[in-house]
Structure 1
């Protein structure tokens, strides 16, 4: 395996495995984000040879999207495949866009419009509706974590994936913002513990990095247990907005993320990479970035 795993500029990866094949859903990374008008997915059986599936969204089903799509999350649920992604970079309530949801019969799509309107189209608890991450718990409950502008929310999806069911405290969308959170949430459950990870710093430069917190409940609370992925001389800088893969036959965890060449002034020059992620004593060890492993 070599890093980056595919040529070209891509960011915000979400990784899943279906029937022995790994899928990485990604943003087309342009500094001028109005060019990001669809999403691509890469698939591989061996994490070495990747097939590209381009333009997986049927964008005609989303006529209100006019300037950007990015930051996908994906999940199979009840035999169908769902894709949630951000659109239009809305800056206030009342603007068209937010978090969109689409559906397909296979992991690579094509993904068609599901609701004929955004899933979340307004600011709740201060969170810009971007950077979604779907997580399925052991009991089958599907949670949506999302949010930019320094605020992270969680909601539980209904069985039809059309909206949300109230959480135990009666809230439908709940704030779970950990200290230092900026954007890009990601949830892993391991040995009964919930590890919420997120990005800090700025995505346009080398300050981007990943921190995490741990709870015994998917709704938190989550403290900040420290940074696990950050600038590493001479390999790369600005690593973040990640997903993960679990290889159960080896009980190996991989972090799938984007990073930048040190000192590159072009914000859009982000590349997809994979490295090992190790857990120990109820925590996540610092990730060592590599050019290949």
Structure 2
């Protein structure tokens, strides 16, 4: 079976890939430089990673009357027999502006997603992290962590059982900063064979400097080991980043979903969804080789 890149026609970014209800799902940002065209989240589903069905506008935006500028960077997790979607709103620049990270819930991975709260989940800067680019990670012990942050700062917090707030850590803090030199935005976490692989994006999302980096640890909170540039510009494409990963089966086959640019296309919003292989060498991840198609 051959998966072609880009996966889908059109401009989309920030893919989060999951497997729910017997299908693969990718939740995406509508990629426009005019934020007013970016006022809902789309999803795509597929039984085989080849044939994709579009689910447009999966969020009931009437539940979020304070959102006026943009929504983007969705993340999702299954819990309590429901599906919880977190996304960024309004690109707030300080604590006096309304928006931040929103949370919605649905009974189906296709939505419709309705507001879980009557306010943003996180509406202010904590540890100097802009409340954007969320990533939900479910650990083996059932704990669900929220990683998020822009402007060079990343926080992690543990979601409570109802998914409408947070559980303080043992030291009483609610938000811990992940200290990663070079971090810009777009955190992502996976766990393989007991090791946590933390990933993030660096550079500028509007051009070919964008890239993804990773490091590993025995802890989901502290990362001090060597780092690997996971995605970077190659002859086939520029500016790859803001990705997510999925294990295909028990044979340790992994895929990475990400967006990338056509070399020489300087339009900031022109980002395309792609899938490629994520290959481990021992306990480290090898740099991803971008392709125009891959065999699964």
Q: Deviations over 1:200-234 (max 9, x none)?
A: 0000000000001111111123445120110001x
* Deviation of the 1:121 alpha carbon: 0.2
| Structure 2 residues not aligned, in runs of 5+ | none
TM-score (norm 2): 0.97
Q: Does 1:108 align with 2:134?
A: no
- CA contact 2:136–2:145 (8 Å) conserved in 1: yes
Distance, in Å, in 2 between the alignment partners of 1:66 and 1:190 is 40
Aligned to 1:41: 43
Aligned to 1:284: 285
- CA contact 2:136–2:147 (8 Å) conserved in 1: yes
Q: Deviations over 1:69-105 (max 9, x none)?
A: 0000001101010000000000000210000000000
TM-score (norm 1): 0.98
SS, match of residue 265 in structure 2: coil
Q: Does 1:237 align with 2:242?
A: no
Distance, in Å, in 1 between the alignment partners of 2:248 and 2:153 is 31
Distance, in Å, in 1 between the alignment partners of 2:226 and 2:74 is 25
Aligned to 1:122: 124
Distance, in Å, in 1 between the alignment partners of 2:95 and 2:121 is 14
**RMSD of aligned Cα (Å):** 0.9
Distance, in Å, in 2 between the alignment partners of 1:34 and 1:206 is 24
Aligned to 1:263: 264
- CA contact 2:12–2:272 (8 Å) conserved in 1: yes
**Residue of 8, 12, 15 corresponding to 1:13:** 15
Matches within 5 A, 1:58-73: 58-73=60-75
Say how many residue pairs are matched. 292
**Hey, which bits of structure 1, 4+ residues long, moved more than 2 A?**
221-224
- CA contact 2:129–2:151 (8 Å) conserved in 1: yes
Q: Does 1:247 align with 2:248?
A: yes
Distance, in Å, in 1 between the alignment partners of 2:57 and 2:69 is 15
Distance, in Å, in 2 between the alignment partners of 1:28 and 1:196 is 25
* Deviation of the 1:246 alpha carbon: 1.1
* Deviation of the 1:179 alpha carbon: 1.3
Distance, in Å, in 1 between the alignment partners of 2:21 and 2:252 is 17
| Structure 1 residues not aligned, in runs of 5+ | none
Distance, in Å, in 2 between the alignment partners of 1:124 and 1:51 is 38
SS, match of residue 43 in structure 1: strand
SS, match of residue 34 in structure 1: helix
Distance, in Å, in 1 between the alignment partners of 2:106 and 2:20 is 14
**Residue of 196, 203, 206 corresponding to 1:204:** 206
